[in-house]
Amino acid sequence: MAPSEHTLLVTGATGYVAGHVIHQALTKGYNVRVCVRSESAREKILATFPNYGSRLSFAPVKDITSPEFFKDAFADGAVTGVIHLASPVHLSPEDNRRDMLDPAINSARSIIEAAKLFGPSVQRVVNTSSMAALLDVSKGLRPGYTYSEKDWNPMTYDEAAEADPVSVYCASKALAEKGMWDFMESGDNKPNFSFVSVNPSMIFGPDFYPITDLKGLKASAARAWALVDAKDVPPPDFCGVVDVRDVATALLNAFEIPEAAGQRYLLAKHFEWQTAADAAREALEEPDKNRIPAGSPGSMDNGAWKSVTYAVDGSKAVRELGFEYRPLKDTMGDTIKQLLEVERKIGKK
């Protein structure tokens, strides 16, 4: 089927990754239906994609944790694919179960169950999980180890309920994804569609939606912005990176490529902050370049980082999903250039 014969249902449609998914899907000729919770979300999307007429449609979904609320999104039988991007991110949960675990698990289960119940034409569901679902946080930076699709965060629900915010976030991603795999593989009444999980590492790159407030930046953009005018380069923490534009490409290719059915893909290249600072300074011109701390330039080159952090193997996605990772120079440069341009428009940070 040509893209024009498909309608892709996109959840989390006002989010960072979703803007690029919608843009790339519409550019390729797909019909796109986006789930929105409010009129303001609908207006934001329409303002960003004003010229697509009936190819861009909207489905009000007030609660993503119950399949019944997705019923209308599938009602006309047109949806052939689902790109699931919606997931709660609560960086300071007061109650791990209520604020992180249950919403993540229930929203993941809800969309795949809704596709089975109400989506007779659905051919594939592509889930956006996270590299966090692979990480064993208890092992720290784990030099000498290589994370890949075979890994899973080992924390149980009960352990995560009492864990720190980073640990519960990683566990919520793993438990939500496992629930979707279990749903696909359970019993005799399996869905007629196939399933793919795409697990991006830390995502940088320009936002497709307009940025109007540097104080309310989303998590990854906030981390990139914190590098600007920082006194020093931060120490390694989360050591994998992927460009948001590559994530969108991978998600769409995961829908299109028949052989991707039933597969799990880690999207990641090596990352730590010294290498990121080196890349950003290479991409920027003075005086902007001088606002990025130099740290110890080149000190992590030629594999020197291997004695400090774990490695990531995102090569399966390149081989099977037909794309190449953008250079970190482009990713960090485009991210920070966009933020600096916003600063010039609205004033200093």
* Tens-place pLDDT, residues 99-108: 999 999 999 9
pLDDT score recorded for residue 96: 94
CB 310 within 8 A of CB 246: no
pLDDT of res. 206: 97
Q: CB atoms < 10 A from the CB of 187, how many?
A: 6
Q: What is the pLDDT of residue 203?
A: 98
Q: What is the per-residue pLDDT for 16? A: 95
Q: Encode burial over 294-313: b for 16+ CB neighbours within 10 A, e otherwise.
A: ebeeeebeeeebeeebbbbb
How confident is the model at residue 349, as a pLDDT?
55
Q: What is the pLDDT along the chain (349 residues), one digit of tens a residue?
A: 889 899 999 999 999 999 999 999 999 999 999 999 999 999 999 999 999 999 999 999 999 999 999 999 999 999 999 999 998 777 788 999 999 999 999 999 999 999 999 999 999 999 999 999 999 999 999 999 999 999 999 999 999 999 999 999 999 999 999 999 999 998 777 899 999 999 999 999 999 999 998 988 888 899 999 999 999 999 999 999 999 999 999 999 999 999 999 999 999 999 999 999 999 999 999 999 999 999 999 999 999 999 999 999 999 999 999 999 999 999 999 999 999 999 999 876 5
> What CATH fold (topology level) applies to the domain 3-205+241-269+312-325?
Rossmann fold (3.40.50)
| Domain boundaries defined on the chain | 3-205+241-269+312-325
Model confidence pTM above 0.85: yes
pLDDT value for 112 = 97
Q: Which amino acid is at 267?
A: L
Are 111 and 191 contacting, i.e. CB atoms less than 8 angstroms apart?
A: no
3-state DSSP of the chain: CCHHHCEEEECCCCCHHHHHHHHHHHHHCCEEEEEECCHHHHHHHHHHCCCCHHHEEEEECCCCCCHHHHHHHHCCCCEEEEEECCCCCCCCCCCHHHHHHHHHHHHHHHHHHHHHHHCCCCCEEEEECCHHHCCCHHHCCCCCCEECCCCCCCCCHHHHHCCCHHHHHHHHHHHHHHHHHHHHHCCCCCCCCEEEEEEECEEECCCCCCCCCHHHCCHHHHHHHHHCCCCCCCCCCCCEEEEHHHHHHHHHHHHHCHHHCCCEEEECEECCHHHHHHHHHHHCCCCHHHHCCCCCCCCCCCCHHHHCCCEECCHHHHHHHCCCCCCHHHHHHHHHHHHHHHHHHHCCC
pLDDT the model gives residue 46: 97
Cβ-contact 108, 180 below 8 angstroms = yes
